[in-house]
Amino acid sequence: MLIDLTDPAPPVKERPGARFRWVAAGLIVGIMSTAAVTHAIDNSHTGAPREPAAASPKVSTSTPSVDVDTLRAAADRALTSGTPNGTLVVSNHAEVLSTNNGVGMRESGALSDVKHPAASYSMLVYCAGRGRVLAILRVGADIDDTIVNCEAVPQPARLSLTSAGGSVEVRLTAVDDETVAVSYLIATNH
């Protein structure tokens, strides 16, 4: 006898609600089995419920508190003392970056709606704190990036690129588990 595998099998008629009953029965059996196994484990060996284990001492994983206002002030002081070479495109006061969600954002970014002309662009980044930040500057299709080391007294980190022009995008991302404040300015030489 030959079986034609190209013919689809006729559909199986299923009674309304049959699938639901099987799924419900499976869930009930699963829940009851879990409860029985848990009860058996809790009452193993003695037949009496086990005493809860003594609580282990909690280990603190929090980092020392950071004065965010001091970090912002340090980054802004460095920003105002920085001198751009050329025409200032944008200046951004300190933003707090952190991998700790309660303190600040992990990443910050800005994208200009204005199409900037072909030129050489430079970005000075100031980072206050202890940690590192990934800084990315994009103008049109051209990109430069660097890892900025944060310090108590921020020193400028420079990104430079020559671009055919376009919108300007800045992206700053906290790299380490530290809270930092980052400010920057972008200048252009036509």
Read off the tokens for 60. Answer: 């603190």
What sign has the CA pseudo-torsion 130, 128, 179, 139?
negative
Q: What is the reported pLDDT for 19?
A: 52
Distance between CA atoms of residues 170 and 108, nearest Å: 8
Distance between CA atoms of residues 150 and 178, nearest Å: 10
- The answer to whether residue 3 scores a pLDDT higher than 60 is no
- The answer to whether residue 58 scores a pLDDT higher than 50 is no
pLDDT in tens, 146-179: 999 999 999 999 999 999 999 999 999 999 888 9
Strand partners, 113: none
Query: E strands, 11-106, where?
Result: 87-97
More confident residue, 94 or 15: 94
- Whole-model pTM? 0.64
